[in-house]
Chain A
Amino acid sequence: MNGEAVPLDVTLAVTPALTRDVHARLEAFAEAARLPRKVVFAADTALEELLQNVLDHSGAREVRFRAAVEGGELRLELADDGIPFDPLAMELPATDRSPDLRPVGGLGVLMVRKMMDRVRYERRDGCNRLTLAKLLA
């Protein structure tokens, strides 16, 4: 049965180890919640891409990472104290063009949007907040 895990709520320093730290925490949470591998893979992919953006562009010092199973879906939240940056506002690459002609940017956000069922950005209380959801079934 899904949804038995205690919600995860951690605040982590932004260091080069951030993405691997969050990956390990997601795996532990997913095991406790007995989440389907497909859901975990989608969440893992989205978190990797979004956290890499934080590392590369935000100048943030801390990231708050929350995960919970509610209403038949996995819900994730990332909040960083970096400069205002909405990754969802980035133009998506045209996937129907040949790889030889296509610009190389925007792939990460494309992966986030395609992997998750819902993604939302807001700037609130001096933080970038991204909320994501993936249906369990």
Chain B
Amino acid sequence: MAIRKNLAGTECELVVDGRVDGPAAHELEIEVLALAKTDATTVYVNLAGANFLCSAAIRVLLQHRRQWKAKGKKFVVSRTSPEVDEILELTGMRDLIVESA
């Protein structure tokens, strides 16, 4: 897995490519926790290049979505690959998907 950060003011896009398995989900969470300490108020997680998504990664996305929302901030999955889409569909997590402007 590889993660790139695109920063623009208080918005940040996390571009996640490759296989998001258990160890990768932990890496993703570290990136998100680091963002929480910045001025970022909106995070878009771009999973268009991710070809695998495990349940640990979904939990990271779900928990941080809740935490950011509770602070009046936005944390959304902006794009998905077909593989990620299939996983989000079967787990009923489609509500996580919000297209970025």
- Segment of A42-50, A68-76, A121-129 in the binding face: A42-50
CA A56 – CA B69 in complex, angstroms?
Answer: 29
Whether the pair B91, A95 counts as a contact (CB closer than 8 A) is: yes
Chain B residues, CB < 8 A from A23:
19, 21
Whether the pair B95, A108 counts as a contact (CB closer than 8 A) is: no
CA A44 – CA B63 in complex, angstroms?
Answer: 24
Contact of A107 among B19, B55, B95 (CB under 8 A): B55
CA A114 – CA B55 in complex, angstroms?
Answer: 13
Nearest-neighbor residue (CB-CB) of B60 within chain A: A104
Asked whether A20 is an interface residue with its Cβ less than 8 Å from the other chain, the reply is yes
Beta-carbon contacts under 8 Å, B67-101 to A: 69, 83, 86-87, 90-93, 95-96
Count chain B residues whose beta carbon lies closer than 8 angstroms to a beta carbon of A. 24
- Smallest CB separation, A81 vs chain B (Å): 21
Count chain A residues whose beta carbon lies closer than 8 angstroms to a beta carbon of B. 26
CA A107 – CA B75 in complex, angstroms?
Answer: 20
Whether the pair A111, B95 counts as a contact (CB closer than 8 A) is: no
Asked whether A52 is an interface residue with its Cβ less than 8 Å from the other chain, the reply is yes
Contact with A along B31-75 (1 / 0, CB 8 A): 000000000000000000000101110110011011001000000
The 7 closest A-B pairs by CB, nearest first: A95-B92, A108-B55, A107-B55, A114-B90, A104-B59, A99-B95, A52-B22
